[in-house]
Amino acid sequence: MPSPPALPAAVSYRSLRGRRVVITGGATGIGAAMAGAFAAQGCNVHVLDIQHEAGGLLADTLPHTAYHACDLRDVAVLRRTVRDIEGIAGGIDVLVNNAASDERHAFDEVEPEQWRDRLAVNLDHQFFATQAVAQGMRARARGSIILFSSTSWIKGRPGMVGYTTAKAAVIGLTKTLARELGSDGVRVNCIVPGAIVTERQLGLWRTPEMEAEFMASQALKLRLQASHVASVALFLASDEAAGCTGAQFVVDAGLT
């Protein structure tokens, strides 16, 4: 099982101290890196995931961090979990819709049930989680919601059509939600990661050939880490990004 992230010690955002942050899919990978980054800022972090062991370890390791078992595909459970967190924390200031699965699947073999599951895992919960936190954020006239897309749809990567379709849709969702919620002081932005090194990627399909392909395509010749994404999430959640909404923030070292 992956070890929990180390607490970063770079930029300090005073506006984030004490903020109540919800991160979906936050038990491992990019989500865990963001949990560590927000915890280091003095935020109260709530991680939603179905990876119980990793989520429990994260909560035990990071300060001000709680793990909530939640299958995001079950909208009723998602809504109930958000209500529970609001009751515990007294509200939610930041929602990070990070959860996703870039599971490979052959175009010719996709059936309707699998197609719907790919959209549920990668798109649907981003809308319904946003809907669930919106009422409280509107009442306080502030809030930051961060959605997650991917450069895979921009590149048109084969072998994952359900994933790329969902991630393309997130861009339109971001723009519409920014308009829906902007007049109430709630900001909605989207992070678009590129080839980020995670333990999942390394274990499943990151090969020397793929590594060489990414490096050749990137303008910056560095291995992107989850911490690069976490740094952007901190900025978007902070008051320093008060003028940003409906925007895409690409973290891909110039891949696209």
- Chain centroid offset of residue 91 CA: 19
What CATH code would you report for 15-251?
Answer: 3.40.50.720
**DSSP category for residue 107:** G
Cβ atoms of 247 and 171 closer than 8 Å: no
pLDDT at res. 229:
97
Cβ atoms of 43 and 24 closer than 8 Å: no
- Three-state secondary structure call for residue 221: coil
Cβ atoms of 103 and 163 closer than 8 Å: yes
Query: Which parts of the chain sit beneath pLDDT 50?
Result: 1-4, 6-7
Q: Exposed e or buried b for every residue in 146-185, given b needs 16+ CB within 10 A?
A: bbbbbbbbbeeeeebbbbbebbbbbbebbbebbeebeeee
Amino acid symbol at 15: S
Residue indicated by tokens 């599971």: 103
Which is catalytic among the residues 163, 166, 195, 218?
Answer: 163
Amino acid symbol at 72: L
CB neighbourhood size of 56 (10 A): 15
Domain boundaries, the chain: 15-251
CA distance 48 to 71: 8
pLDDT at res. 215:
86
* Full-model pTM: 0.93
Single out the residue of 247, 252, 246, 244 nearest to residue 223, CA to CA: 252
pLDDT at res. 175:
98
pLDDT at res. 197:
86
Q: Following DSSP, what letter does each residue of 233-250 receive, concatenated?
A: HHHHHSGGGTT--S-EEE
CA distance 8 to 4: 12
- Terminal Cα distance for the chain, rounded: 32
Counting every residue written for the chain, the total comes to 256
Helices (H), the chain: 29-40, 52-61, 75-89, 112-119, 125-140, 151-155, 161-182, 199-204, 208-217, 226-237
Amino acid symbol at 95: L
Cβ atoms of 160 and 152 closer than 8 Å: yes
67 carries an active-site annotation: no
pLDDT at res. 7:
47
